[in-house]
Amino acid sequence: MSWFTDLYQSAVGKKAVMAVTGIILFGFVLGHMIGNLKLYEPGTYCAYLDASGTCASKPLPYLDAYGAFLRQVGAPALPASGALWIVRVVLLVAVILHMWAAWQVTRLSQAARPSGYVNQPKRHTSYASRTMRWGGIIILLFVIYHLLDFTTGTLNPGFQEGAVRRNMLASFSVWYVALFYIVAQVALGFHLYHGLWSLFQSLGWNSPRFNRWRSTFAHAFAWIITIGNISFPLAVWTGLVR
């Protein structure tokens, strides 16, 4: 552990930690978005067909079946929801490290300019890069709401454990909830756009051969994730999915 604490002492090390935890969170957000595309799969899924080919279990909407799969994956090698909990712990550690480092480098930078400019400096860089800190806070608030909405069900109008599709429709039918989700996804999109480019710099992954692909990569995935995620509340809200 000492190499880690030693590395973390430095601001360059803190940014490397932010980059690595950012990659983990990015992987999650991408997988999460792709998983939710099951909302659009028509019909129902049957877990057990009997010998004659008729469904012997309760047919589930694809999204619910996917949710059940996430709880079962790894069984019987792992206990029930085992893999799910491993992922949750990794994500929680990543989020805490990411925010802790963000907080520390922000404080460091504020301390580095105790008396500011009278005439505010011109800014040459992207909106995305300038909003990393506030964007991060919006994402954090969103994640808390999101967990209370779909994981615990506390804030969901009509929550049923395991009825993923139904819960989603219930939540997004309320126009201001749908709007809040959309705003938060735009914030995430900006955060990802700068973050996905920035991590290459922070980890020193640059070479003349692929440098120009770094911002293409950041643009592409920021758009893919944002469009995907925004489509869910929009589809419910506009009645395309019911």
Partner 1 sequence: MNLTLHVWRQKSPADEGRMVRYEVTGVTEHASFLEMLDILNEQLIQKGEEPVAFEHDCREGICGSCGFMINGEAHGPLPHTTVCQLHMRHFKDGDVLHLEPWRSKAFPVVKDLVVDRGAFDRIIQSGGFVSVATGSAPEANLIPVPKALSDRAFDAAACIACGACVAQCPNSAAQLFTSAKVSHLNLLPQGQPERYDRALSMVEAMEKEGFGACSNYAECEAVCPKGISIDFIAKMNRDYLKAKSTAVPKPPLEA
The residues binding ligand HEM (CB under 6 A) are: 15, 18-19, 22, 25-26, 29, 98-99, 102, 105, 132-133, 136-137, 139-140, 191-192, 195-196, 198-199, 202
Q: Are 45 and 165 in contact (CB under 8 A)?
A: no
Is residue 12 close enough to count as binding partner 1 by CB under 8 A? Answer: yes
- One-letter amino acid at 206 equals N
- The binding track of 99-118 with respect to partner 1, each residue x by CB under 8 A or -, is ------x--xxxxxxxxxxx
Q: Return the number of the residue (51 or 118) whose C-beta is nearest partner 1.
A: 118
Instruction: State the angle between helix axes of 175-202 and 211-237 in degrees (0 to 180), rounded to the nearest 10.
Output: 170
Half-sphere exposure of 41 (CA within 13 A, CB side): 15
Size of the site for partner 1 (CB under 8 A): 43
Residue 93 in contact with partner 1, rule: CB under 8 A: no
C-beta closer to ligand HEM: residue 136 or 233: 136
Number of helices (H) and strands (E) in the chain: give both, helices first: 9, 2
Q: How far is the C-alpha of 84 from the C-alpha of 72, rounded, in Å?
A: 8
Question: Cβ closer to partner 1: 202 or 226?
Answer: 202
Distance CA 172, CA 59 (A): 24
Q: Which residues make up the interface to partner 1 (CB under 8 A)?
A: 3, 6-7, 10-16, 105, 108-125, 129-130, 132, 194, 197-198, 200-206, 211
